[in-house]
Amino acid sequence: MPTLDLTIDTIKSNLEHAQLAGYIYQYNPHLLVLQEDLNEDGSVLNNFVQHGLTADQIGLQFGLRLLDNKFDFLIGATHSNQDRSYEIGARNLKADQKAFNLLYAFYNYPKAFYLIILPLAANSAQFKEAMESQLFNQPKLDFLNTALKTNPMGQQFNWMKSFIVQQALDMKVRMQTCLN
């Protein structure tokens, strides 16, 4: 990825021109976070997915960090459900996690926040490995393993994990494209 002459302002301008989001929030001199993510056709991106049986929800938010002339793709994932007995507030977010507090604030009874970080230039296999190791292996997210659907071929697949990976991978590719 070329980064030599790019500043955070130039990157923000490129992301805005590519219409990746309704608003791009600059958290610090190195980090941009998409707000009101958009699909390629300009419609609002669905960045929430809910388990049909447990009512557990995952919300996704995307960011880009330029540090030491390298791009990192960031995915903020919030887990919530309707269990009022345990909830963590936005004040529990640390360091770069705080940049994702706008999505976090919209959740009912948030339980956890995960920040997935990988190089923007990561290939599909590296991307899926990062998702597996940084997100899907979290014990509190075991409910994701029970979100199964049957495809037209009669095979079961994990639809929530597939949805999360596809939305994040699509946004990563769109970011890469607009910065090349």
Residues found in the chain = 180
The dihedral formed by the CA atoms of 48, 61, 115 and 112, expressed in degrees to the nearest 10: -40
By the 8 A CB rule, do 142 and 110 touch? no
Q: Of 13-17, 54-58, 59-63, which range is least confident?
A: 54-58
pLDDT tens figures, 65-124:
998 889 999 999 988 877 767 666 666 666 777 677 655 555 566 778 899 999 999 999
- Residue 117's Cβ-side half-sphere holds a number of Cα atoms within 13 Å equal to 10
Q: Of 4-18, 130-144, 165-179, which range is least confident?
A: 4-18
Please tell me the distance from the alpha carbon of residue 133 to that of residue 155, in angstroms, as a whole number. 25
Please tell me the distance from the alpha carbon of residue 78 to that of residue 97, in angstroms, as a whole number. 11
pTM of the full predicted structure?
0.86
- Where are the chain's structural domains? 8-179
User: Other CB atoms closer than 10 Å to residue 4's CB: what's the count?
Assistant: 5
